[in-house]
Amino acid sequence: MNKKVYELINDQINKELYSGYLYLSFADYYEAEGLKGFANWYLIQAQEERDHALIFRRYLLDNDCPVVLGAIAQPDMTFTDYLGPLEAALEHEKYVTSLIDNIMAAAVKAKDFRTQQFLNWFIDEQLEEEANASEMVSNMKLFGGDARSLYELDREYLGRVYTQASPLAGA
Ligand code: MG
Q: Average pLDDT in the 90-108 region?
A: 98
Spacing, Cα 39 to ligand 1 middle (Å): 18
CA atoms of 170 and 55, how far apart (whole Å): 8
pLDDT of residue 166: 73
- Give me the count of residues in the chain: 171
For 20, 54, 59, 103, 107, the CA distances from 10, given in Å and listed in that order, are: 16, 11, 10, 11, 14
- Contact (CB, 8 A) for 59 and 10: no
Spacing, Cα 88 to ligand 1 middle (Å): 14
Q: How many CB atoms lie within 10 A of CB 61?
A: 12
Cα of first residue to Cα of last residue in the chain, in angstroms, is: 21
Q: Tell whether the model's pLDDT for residue 12 goes beyond 70.
A: yes
pLDDT in tens, 23-55: 999 999 999 999 999 999 999 999 999 999 999
Share of the chain above pLDDT 90, in %: 94
**b/e for 23-57, b at 16 or more Cβ within 10 A?**
bbbbbebbeeeebbbbbbbbbbbbbbbbbbbbbbb
CA within 13 Å, CB half, 5: 21
What is the pTM (predicted TM-score) of this model?
Answer: 0.94
Q: Average pLDDT in the 9-16 region?
A: 98
Q: Tell whether the model's pLDDT for residue 1 goes beyond 90.
A: yes
Please give the DSSP secondary-structure letter assigned to residue 168. G
Spacing, Cα 147 to ligand 1 middle (Å): 31
pLDDT in tens, 115-130: 999 999 999 999 999 9
Q: Average pLDDT in the 111-117 region?
A: 98
Q: Quickly list DSSP for 66-119.
A: -----PPPPP----SSTHHHHHHHHHHHHHHHHHHHHHHHHHHHTT-HHHHHHH
Spacing, Cα 21 to ligand 1 middle (Å): 11
pLDDT tier for residue 163 given thresholds of 50, 70 and 90: confident
The CATH code of domain 3-162 reads 1.20.1260.10
Instruction: Identify the helix (H) or strand (E) that includes residue 57.
Output: helix 36-62
Spacing, Cα 110 to ligand 1 middle (Å): 24
**Residue 53: which residues within 8 A CB-CB, separation 6 or more?**
12, 13, 14, 16, 17, 20
